[in-house]
Structure 1
Amino acid sequence: MDQWLTKIQALSVWQNWDNSIVLITLASLVLWVGWRLLYSRLNILTEKTRVDWDNLLLHALQTPVTVLIWCWPASISLGLLLDDMVESELNWLLTLKQMLFILCFIWVFLRLINNIEHHVLSAKKRDETTVQAIAKISRLAFILTGLLSLMQTFGLSLSGLLTFGGVGGLVVGLAAKDLLSNFFGGMMIYFDRPFKVGDWIRSPDRSIEGTVERIGWRMTIIRTFDKRPLYVPNAVFSNIVVENPSRMLNRRIYETIGLRYDDAAKVSLIIEDVKAMLTTHPDIDSSQTLIVNFNAFGPSSLDFFIYTFTKTVNWIKYHEVKQDVLLQVMDIIHQHAADIAYPTQTLKLEPEMTTKDDGRYFNPEG
């Protein structure tokens, strides 16, 4: 008789928590359907607004809220299932629920940061390097906050963690000196901004030249002009000189041109016409230094130089402007019936000398 009563009680308990789990699952399903309908409605409303931040926040909430709707009731069902099977207290279930809530909270903010970063970068109205730096620092701050919160849910004291972190940080700092130097080198690049993504940079101290593709926490990726990727640790930029030609205001044309010595009388006229041409040239910045002067007596030419600046800094456009300037200079020289000199040598031959009967030299031709 007692055995039958025990079986009936066990069956009754089984049915009780079984029914409870079914009800919890059905409640989760109803809540999930309600969330989907609410999300669809809110999505329609946010699409009609002029601002984009509500869309970004709604999209950040979508997946974490869905996970929370299913996982939170699942933890309750797990507690009901184990409550009658395990004699010990299930305090770890409360910790599990707290961890789930913290993880979903951090997840929402990480998704929101990613959405904002992609939205701002796609608009192309802000500096890409600054946006990426702010996004990385924000993600790092929320991840650290989440880790500290998770440690606190396990009963760890924050003051003890900070004390341990001070001692452990010293040990880790000594062991990972290069890693930390690269990290702070990346921070220096983000805050000092000697260059940004897309800039053409080069260093006279190292064989570094190319376009910046990515600035990471540990290294910077530079694409060289022959399309090879160059991975440079960030700490290197603390000890070298970096040139940033992308930030030039103008590009310089500096050329020396030689005229024939036979055209000496025309040099001043040619220089005046070349200077007038450069002053009125649409692609030459006349507000910058503009010099056209006779410069030197060369071995086989009369040299004058051109020193001026273009308005464009684009490499391809610069060479097009330089080509046009040089062709016009050549036309001006030809208009004055002059020509550009080329290397020549003049040989002076002495007449042949003979001797008289008394041994003295004389020229038989004169």
Structure 2
Amino acid sequence: FLLGSYTKSELPDILLALYGVIIRVLILALPRKEDLLNALPTKTPFFARLWRIIDRYYSAIFLVGVLLIVMSDPHVGGYNNLIFYLLWGIVGTLVIIKVLFSLYMFCRRNSATILFFSDGESLRERFSFAKTFYGVSIIVLFCTFIFVGALLIAWLWGKPISLGSMADFFMVERLTIDMGNGIYKKLTLFGLLGTFAIIPIGFFVGFIVDKFLLYRIFSVLLVNPGVHNAVSTISYYVTVITVITLGLWQQGLGFLVLYYLGPLLFGMAWALRDLFNDFVSYFIILINRPIKVGDYIKISDEIQGAVRSITPRSVVLRRNRGFCLIVPNHKFIQEVVTNWDYNLSYICCPDIMIMIPLSCNPDEVFKVLKSAAEENLNVLKTPPPLVRLESFEELGFQFLVRCFISPEKTLDQWEIASATRLNITRKLRENGMDIAIPVRIIQERLASKP
């Protein structure tokens, strides 16, 4: 009996494992849902969000906890190392993402504070092209935090990236460019990034030249602001194109200059075609003189006014209500233009159409209208005012009164026409006449009695 071999029963181990699982499940179920919700503060956004998650998904969270307890028990599931690895990786990844995102938002807010300032109503740039620098800085910060986050997350999951492997990734010649004639050029990713870095460097050099060279020169010479702005803009873009071209030549990619310079020149010519038309139209206006400063012109109901200046780009028109219109020069060559002052001898006021009842003597009306127009001191005697019986209408005689004034009073033509209308109304009433009004006679027929 003492020498006999007996197989050890596994029942005690199973009962012990089951006992341990039950104890941990009971400990997990010990705090009720209401106890957890009452213990959590809700004043901060994080705990308020956690409170809502527990309130909505408490049952699912409890079942997941029970599953993790069962799977992590060495006597039942035996996946304790795997579960610990997954929990460590998932929780650590979420923490890294949250921390890096908070740092990114902090840097983003501070970069906006550095590049912009508030005037109480809106944000304004501290210097030229601050918006461009802000956009570039946001992209660089985003790429930097993505790179750092990838390194930290890889280390957290047990897959660290060494500096040597990173250097090999960027320094090994991986790209091949066909230069033509059987010539190939190999590039590393680091060299490719350096090539792309030429573009922001070109804009930065252009900004330095404009801010610290041209600005100081123009501040001493006291040049017109329009000329200053034009020269600064042209110099800025010429500097940018020059720096990018030299950078590509230095990188051995001079053949790319033809690829971007040709489309660039074509795009500039296409974009400046309207400016070229305006510039040519400017010389046509100066030679033919269809309009000149002081003329009152009209192209449409919206585009009309007195010419205040003629520049190589546009014509400035001043409306009667005080505001100005900036009209491109080519419109005065391509469209029909009404010019009140093209004839230097006289201009015509707006025609006055008036309806007189048929009961009045047209000869007497003609004399009254003629004298009313001639009494206006702003109306020319030569040519004399024109009064004409235009037509016979249903309401009466339709007369036309046309007055002529000197070109110097072009802008006053509407006031002169208004004064003439008032004088006509007064003269008609003094002579027992009036303006015709619609009259309708309504007859009511009563039904005859049976």
Same fold? TM cut 0.5: no
TM-score (norm 2): 0.34
TM-score (norm 1): 0.41
